[in-house]
Amino acid sequence: MSQKIGRSTLVLDTFPSIMSYASVVGKKEGEGPLARYFDAIFDDTTLGEKTWEKSESRMQKEAVSRALEKGGYATMQIDYIFAGDLLNQCISSHYGLRDLNIPFYGLYGACSTMAEGLSLASVFVDNNLAGFTMAATSSHFCSAERQFRLPLEYGGQRTPTSQWTATAAGSLVVGKSARPPFVKAVCGGTITDLGIKDINNMGAAMAPAAAQTIKTYLEDSHTGPQDYDLIVTGDLGLVGSELLIDLLKRDGIDISGVHNDCGKMLYDVEAQDVHAGGSGAGCSASVLCSYLLKKIEDGALKNVLFIATGALMSTTSFQQGESIPSIAHLVHLTYNRE
């Protein structure tokens, strides 16, 4: 059962375990520093489909199927899947997962989806509301570009603060076992909007949400940055990461020694010319469901805060002159059950 230690902070007393996980990525991501941790790299990012949206759906399905397969689970064993994505009406998830016949709670958390889904999936297991649950999300550079920015064919110039939407999907199975990685606690985020309107600087828009959620969790859990091997956000990129560190320093919290960001980890940012780093719901999901969970499983990382951030605007709100509201959900992952 979960213990409420703050308004939106729950300590999961049974330490739900991440039983299995998988990530699949595109060619560019497969050329990055985490290449050897992915379950599949698709050099053909169409995945043989006729449209980018269908490619993304297929990719999300691949991540889910591989997570099930690696753990030896049948779809019938999964009580719920919590999933969503960035596309209008979350069609990657709906079309990607429609054949699975797994009870489905649809989420919209933009790039925070994996942390949101993992939070709910873990809470359900911790309170015996489910035996096994799953979380999944995805993003695709080509479907995101044409929906949020410009069709690729325009060959538009990118600004230095812009981030590169990852072609990637991640999925995991949560259950109960004595094997790490464990989910120790979760902290739900609050919508934050400091008035930033630059759609090419999402990292800056999302940093305040990440700062708020991290601060809340550290306070609720009576811990500090020194208690963690890694505080990893996703996806603030270069610009947002610096801003996050500055924002927290103002509150007397220095995470600079333990912070990293999935948007900086997925690519060799300079060599791969991704400007301010990676983004997209699939970015933090694929970094989590490959390198991060593997390192925790192996005990190389023992205490990790995973904070996925989402920018909650649309092209319509942007065109109407609105600022960018953001959110960040936090999951505390551990190697030991203590």
Q: Which of 189, 208, 237, 277 touches its own copies by CB under 8 A? A: 189
Distance CA 234, CA 35 (A): 18
* 175 near its own copies (CB under 8 A): no
Site residues for its own copies, window 120-149 (CB under 8 A)?
A: 120, 123, 127-130, 147
Q: Rule CB under 8 A: is residue 281 a binding residue for its own copies? A: no
Query: Is residue 200 a contact residue for its own copies (CB under 8 A)?
Result: no
Six token digits for residue 300: 């190389």
Q: Which of residues 1-60 bind its own copies (CB under 8 A)?
A: 1-2, 4, 7-8, 10, 50-51, 53-54
Residue of 5, 14, 73, 104 interacting with its own copies (CB under 8 A): 104
Q: How far is the CB of 46 from its own copies (least distance, A)?
A: 14
Q: Which residue number, 29 or 116, has a Cβ lying nearer to its own copies?
A: 116
Which residue lies nearer to its own copies by CB, 10 or 174?
10
Q: How many residues bind its own copies (CB under 8 A)?
A: 60
- Angle, to 10 degrees, between the axis of helix 141-148 and the axis of helix 52-71? 140
Closest approach, Cβ 90 to its own copies, in A, equals: 5
Token match 């649309």: residue? 314
Shortest distance (Å) from residue 296 CB to its own copies = 24
Is 317 a binding residue for its own copies by CB under 8 A? The answer is: yes
Q: What are phi and psi of 182, to 5 degrees?
A: -110, 155
Dihedral, CA of residue 275, residue 276, residue 280 and residue 282, to nearest 10:
90
Buried b (16+ CB within 10 A) or exposed e, 217-252: bbebbeeebeebbbbbbbbbbbbbbbbbbebbeeee
Task: Output the six-digit token pair for 69.
Answer: 């397969």
Helix (H, G, I), strand (E, B) or coil at 122: helix
Scanning 172-180, 237-245, 263-271, 315-323 for contacts with its own copies by CB under 8 A, the matching segment is 315-323
CA–CA gap between residue 29 and residue 41 (Å, rounded): 8
User: Binding of its own copies at residue 103 (CB under 8 A)?
Assistant: yes
Q: Say which amino acid occupies 228.
A: Y
Residue 228, CA distances (Å) to 147, 231, 302 in order:
38, 7, 8
Residue in 30, 188, 263, 282 binding its own copies, rule: CB under 8 A: 188
Residue 138, token pair as written in the block: 């995805």
Q: Is 101 in the site for its own copies (CB under 8 A)?
A: yes
Q: Cα 302 to chain center, whole Å?
A: 19
Task: Based on the shown chain and the rule CB under 8 A, indicate whether residue 193 belongs to the binding site for its own copies.
Answer: yes
Q: How far is the CB of 8 from its own copies (least distance, A)?
A: 4
CB 227 within 8 A of CB 304: no
How are beta strands 182-187 and 40-42 bridged, if at all?
Answer: unpaired
Residue 279 Cβ vs its own copies, minimum distance, rounded to whole Å: 14
Point out which residues bind its own copies (CB under 8 A). 1-2, 4, 7-8, 10, 50-51, 53-54, 79-80, 84, 86-91, 94-95, 97-98, 100-110, 116, 119-120, 123, 127-130, 147, 188-193, 310, 312-317, 320, 322, 325, 327
